[in-house]
Structure 1
Amino acid sequence: MNANRVKQILSSPADVEVKYNGVSVWIDKLNEDGTTATVHLRGPLEERTIVNISELQEE
């Protein structure tokens, strides 16, 4: 995934499914470096992780 698509997903009212290592995640924000994003797992756990946006996959 690229930075422009991450921005589109963040601004979209639609529920866009994104996966990281095969696990469904929410994107919280695109980080200032433009190559990483803060994400958290869908569900009750809200632990946030910084991941490289190239590893995110839109379903």
Structure 2
Amino acid sequence: MDKQRAQEIINSPTMINVSYHGIPVYLQEVPLNGGKARVFPLDELHNEQEVDLNGLFEEGPY
């Protein structure tokens, strides 16, 4: 996923399904520098992680 699309998903008023290597995640933030994003798995809301943008895939809206 590119940085611009990740930011669009974050700013979207509707929930857009995103996965990281097949694991559903909530896309929380895209820092200004680098190719990373801050996410957390939907089944582990306390487990925030920084991941590579190229591992994120858009699954579409609910």
One fold, TM greater than 0.5? yes
- Between stretches 44-53 and 15-24, larger displacement belongs to 44-53
Superposed CA deviations along residues 5-38 of structure 1, whole A, max 9, x for unmatched, are: 0110010011100000100000110012141001
Mapping of residues 1-59 of structure 1, within 5 Å = 1-59=1-59
Unaligned ranges ≥5, structure 2 = none
Q: 1:20 to 1:44 in 2, by over 3 A?
A: closer
Identity %: 29
The structure 1 segments of at least 4 consecutive aligned residues displaced by more than 3 Å after TM superposition are none
Unaligned ranges ≥5, structure 1 = none
Please report the RMSD computed on the Cα atoms of aligned residues, expressed in angstroms. Answer: 1.2
What TM-score, normalized to structure 1? 0.90
